[in-house]
Amino acid sequence: MIEFKNVNFRYRGTDESGLHDLSLTINDGEMVLLCGASGCGKTTVGRLINGLIPHYYKGELTGNVLVNGMDIEKTELYELAGVVGTVFQNPRSQFFAIDTDGEITFGAENIGMPPDSIISRKDDVSSEMHIEKLLGRSIFELSGGEKQIIACASVSVLSPDIIVLDEPSSNLDLEAIEKLKEILKRWKLQGKTIVIAEHRLYFLRELADRMLILENGRITKEMTAEEIKKLTITDTEKMGIRPMILPEIQYKNSVVESEDILLLEDFCFTYKDGKHGINIPRLELPAYRIIAIIGHNGAGKSTLARNICGLERKCKGTLTMNGKKMKAKERLHNCYMIMQDVNHQLFTESVRDEVMLSMTDKALTDEQKASLADEILEQLDLAEYADTHPMALSGGQKQRTAIASGIASSKSIIIFDEPTSGLDLAHMKQVADQLKKLKDMGKTVIVVTHDNEFILSCCDHVVRLENGCIAEDNHKR
Amino acid sequence: MIKIHLDPRTKLVMIFAVSFIVMVNAVSTIEWIVRIIVTLIPVFLLANEGKHVSAIRFLLCYAAAILLLKYYISAESTGILSALLLGYCGIVAQFMPAMIMAWYVIHTTKIGEFMSAMQKMHIPDGISVSLAVVMRFFPTIKEECLSINDAMKMRDISFGGGRITKMIEYRLVPLMFSCLNIGDELSAAAVTRGLGAQVRRTSPVQLKIKAVDWLMIVIFLLSMIIFVISKYFR
């Protein structure tokens, strides 16, 4: 059983508080879903259960948190390791080992389990989760979905009573989410207590026993399993959370009237491993529209985006727009990509410098550049942060800074790589609005995404890839 | 070809021997023979891992460097061309073998094996865990660098607008931030899985020094002894 008694928490070095007078009891075997906007405190609740607060993330804590009767404040983290297991959001940063076997056994080694039991536990878990195929592989060659399954397996090895998941589906495609759902179902059958903080909710509709909605560190609403199942899209919209049902994308059947076309020819590219790549002899995309590229993890979406961008020199493909045929090198001057991890593309010391860095027109003086930059920042609601260091911004603000530098570079094609992974409803809509703004400016926008809800809110055209080839190519209704 | 699998302890002996012999200046013929042997073994291992093209490319560069050192460059050589060639030979003949050995060790050692080996040598957990994290970080740093490089290409700032300081700054700043973030999240994930517990770590990996390990250990220790005797005691 997990008990929160009048818990207040504030992260060190910040004014905003994490949790306000929160009381909560979670019974054994219950599956509780925590949701709410980013910064509402749901991650903090998870961290209090697995002991990362107060032992790893420091701050002011009052009140009591009891996990299976142990006071979290007086219990060392390693004592909790066998009781509470945690699956984190980012598959990139939760792996200790380089190979899957080592990763799965890591926890068991730490608590000093005898070697024979480690091996038998590993075998049990891998047959239970059907991951024999993933054993003995390098972590770095797995897809995001496979990584997250390995993360679940490495938690399962210690057979904890309580499992905390912090936005586990952020980087997953629909198929991988199905697998995650199966794992959750099995854990639930085994009687484990599950606490899951999430933005994407549809896959938890039948599983959750209780849903708590948090706002500014307080529980504002509590719903039972029956109530959750009754929620419609309008209800969730009103509550500010993502829908409980996976929305279907409807397509137009009719041939669309002729419009400006972006023509891709001979986009064939294979990675060094010889297995992954794309093979697209010809593809017509509507120009000045928002185009979604969808498909499973590993279907070649990001590869296509990189090739359109001209980042792979070896690709012989050409892109024709307005009668101009562009090879990889020229495309690099006409395309701009907002990467999934925007931290990789912020280089300077202030947001304004960041935008000015993209202006390569030598005819402009620094003052002209600065005033142009301020105009762009104004459009993206970043004006007040013009002098802030980009790394001090929130995730969404960083993304908008990257968009601003894309606009400043006056390139005509803007590509987004999974811009909404891990975003709540409000932020997802905000990104959708940015994309529409770009379209209104006359840019062609290409988005690699798994997020159906996002596609519905802004995309005009959907291309689905399968094994590196075009499987479907449709206008959205 | 049969894939050779070495014990981490053997690899440690090898990496130490290779770095020592290759880095120290070789003069006499016997020293050169020893040095070429300890260079060729890592190259052979590289090919054994399936990197045939890299192995052959290196062998060609290495042969060129050795021939240059023997017939063209001497202590009296002057001029820019010889200076450049000397630099080339130094990198190929002195640094590359050690790099290849390091690549091989990092590429083929699983963290579990490494931890188990360290434990058998009675190295404290604190040291082996930190070393393991370092090993784990190499591929991560590589991935991050590639992404940053892409981002720079798109912004057309790969050469920092012509200024070397900017070129380095634009690469290092994002790299540092993402490594800090990853490191922080990684340690949070590791402590929730019991890292730092007051018990002795166990390991399911059973290590055994096999014949091929003994062979390598003997070759490399002998090379070291011959090299040292020839260099300092004659």
pLDDT for res A352 = 92
**What pLDDT digit, counting tens, does each position of A398-427 carry?**
989 999 998 888 889 999 998 988 888 988
Q: Which residues of B touch A55 (CB under 8 A)?
A: 191
Nearest-CA distance A87 → chain B (Å):
8
Residue A256 pLDDT > 80: no
For residue B14, which of B49, B45, B38 has the smallest C-alpha distance?
B38
Residues of A with Cβ-Cβ distance to B185 under 8 angstroms: 88, 90, 93-94
In a domain, A250, yes or no: no
| Residue A41 within a domain | yes
**Tokens 């980013």 found at:** A38
Distance CA A283, CA A472 (A): 11
Whether residue A246 lies inside any domain: the answer is no
Task: Give the span between the Cα atoms of B215 and B221, in whole angstroms.
Answer: 10
Whether A366 and A281 map to the same domain: the answer is yes
In degrees rounded to 5, what are phi and psi of residue A116? Answer: -65, -45
- CB-based contact B104:B49 (threshold 8 Å): yes
Number of domains in chain A: 2
pLDDT at B1: 67
Return the DSSP state at A476: B
Measured between beta carbons, the chain A residues lying within 8 angstroms of B132 are: 96
Provide Rg for chain B, Cα atoms: 21
CA gap A143, A94 in Å, rounded: 14
Integer CA distances (angstroms), A378 to A372, A375, A381, A386, in order: 10, 5, 5, 9
Place of tokens 């000015």: A356
Q: What does the alpha-carbon distance between residue A426 and residue B55 come to, in Å, rounded to a whole number? A: 54
- Residue A8's pLDDT is 92
Indicate whether A254 belongs to any domain: no
| CB within 8 Å: A118 and B199 | no
Residue A38 domain flag: yes
| Closest-CA residue to A449 (of A426, A424, A414, A417) | A417
List of chain B residues whose C-beta atoms are within 8 Å of the C-beta of residue A77: 191-192, 194, 196
Q: In chain A, what are the helix, strand and coil shares in percent, each to the nearest 5?
A: 40, 25, 35
Interface contact A337, partner B, CB < 8 A: yes
On whether both A203 and A313 belong to a single domain, the answer is no
Q: Which residues of B touch A94 (CB under 8 A)?
A: 185-186, 189
Three-state DSSP state, A335: strand
pLDDT tens for B81-118 read: 888 888 888 888 888 889 899 889 888 888 888 888 98
Same domain flag for A225 and A325:
no
In this structure, the answer to whether residues A229 and A278 fall within a common structural domain is no
- What local confidence, expressed as pLDDT, does residue A253 receive? 64
- Tell me which residue of A205, A232, A221, A226 sits closest to A40, measured CA to CA: A221
CA distance B233 to chain A (A): 44
Following DSSP, what letter does each residue of A1-51 receive, concatenated? -EEEEEEEEEETT-SS-SEEEEEEEE-TT-EEEEE-STTSSHHHHHHHHHT
pLDDT tens profile A70-119: 999 999 988 899 899 999 988 778 888 888 998 999 999 988 899 999 99
Which residue range is the domain that position A460 belongs to?
A: 261-475
Same domain, residue pair A287 and A429: yes
DSSP code for B50: T
Look up residue A438 and give its two tokens.
């770009």
Q: What tokens appear for B206 in the block? A: 């059973």
Alpha helices of A51-93 — where are they, by DSSP H? Answer: 52-55, 77-80
Smallest CA-to-CA distance from B139 within B92, B186, B98, B95 is with B186
Looking at the structure, do residues A158 and A271 belong to the same domain, yes or no? no
Question: Residue B160 in contact with residue B170, Cβ under 8 Å?
Answer: yes
Q: What residues contact A167, with CB distance under 8 A and at least 6 apart? A: A43, A89, A197, A198, A199, A422
A37, A111: one domain: yes
In chain A, what residues touch B135 (CB-CB under 8 Å)?
98
Residue A258 confidence (pLDDT) above 70:
no
- Using DSSP, state whether A225 is helix, strand or coil: helix
Task: Please say whether the beta carbons of A239 and A221 come within 8 A.
Answer: yes
Q: What is the pLDDT of residue A17?
A: 66
Cα distances (Å, whole numbers) of residue A230 to A173, A195, A221, A223? 25, 21, 15, 11
Question: Residue A273 above 80 pLDDT?
Answer: no
Residues A425 and A341 in one domain: yes
Burial bucket for residue A455 (CB in 10 Å: 0-12, 13-18, 19+): buried
Which residues, numbered 130 to 189 in chain A, qualify as contacts with chain B under a Cβ-Cβ cut-off of 8 Å?
140, 154-155, 158
Residue A255 has pLDDT above 60, yes or no: no
Interface contacts A/B by beta carbons within 8 Å: 170
Tell me which of A143 and A447 has the higher pLDDT.
A447
- φ, ψ dihedrals at A225, nearest 5°: -55, -40
The answer on A468 and A323 residing in a single domain is: yes
- Which of A:399-438 have CB within 8 Å of B? 405, 409
Query: For residue A221, what is the DSSP state?
Result: E
Q: Are residues A303 and A386 in the same domain?
A: yes
CATH of the domain at A201: 3.40.50.300
Task: Choose one of A206, A239, A272: the last residue of a domain.
Answer: A239
Report the alpha-carbon distance of residue A472 to residue A465 in Å, rounded.
7
Flag whether A364 is in a domain. yes
Q: What is the pTM of this model?
A: 0.86
Local confidence band at A38 (pLDDT 50, 70, 90 cut-offs): confident
Residue A254 pLDDT > 60: no
Q: What angle do CA A322, A328, A333 make, to 5 degrees?
A: 65
- Domain-located, residue A253: no
Average pLDDT, chain A: 89
Q: How confident is the model at residue A66 (pLDDT cuts 50, 70, 90)?
A: very high
CA A353 → CA A384, A386, B71, B202, distances in Å?
A: 14, 8, 54, 52
- Best of B147, B186, B193, B206 to substitute, by most chain A Cβ atoms within 10 angstroms, is B193
**Of B211, B155, B162, nearest in space to A401 by CA:** B155
SS3 of residue A448 by DSSP: strand
- The reply to whether A282 and A202 lie within a common domain is no
Q: Chain B contact for A106, CB < 8 A? A: yes
- List, in sequence order, the alpha helices (H) in A111-143: 115-128
A159 conformational bin, left if phi > 0, alpha if psi -120 to 50, beta if neither = left
Instruction: For residues A288 and A428, state if they share a domain.
Output: yes
Backbone angles phi, psi at B47, to 5 degrees: -65, -35
Residue A244 lies in a domain: no
The residue ranges of chain B whose pLDDT is under 50 are: none
How far is Cα A198 from Cα A421, in angstroms, rounded to an integer?
A: 11
- Asked if residue A471 has pLDDT above 70, the reply is yes
A432 sits in which H/E element: helix A425-440
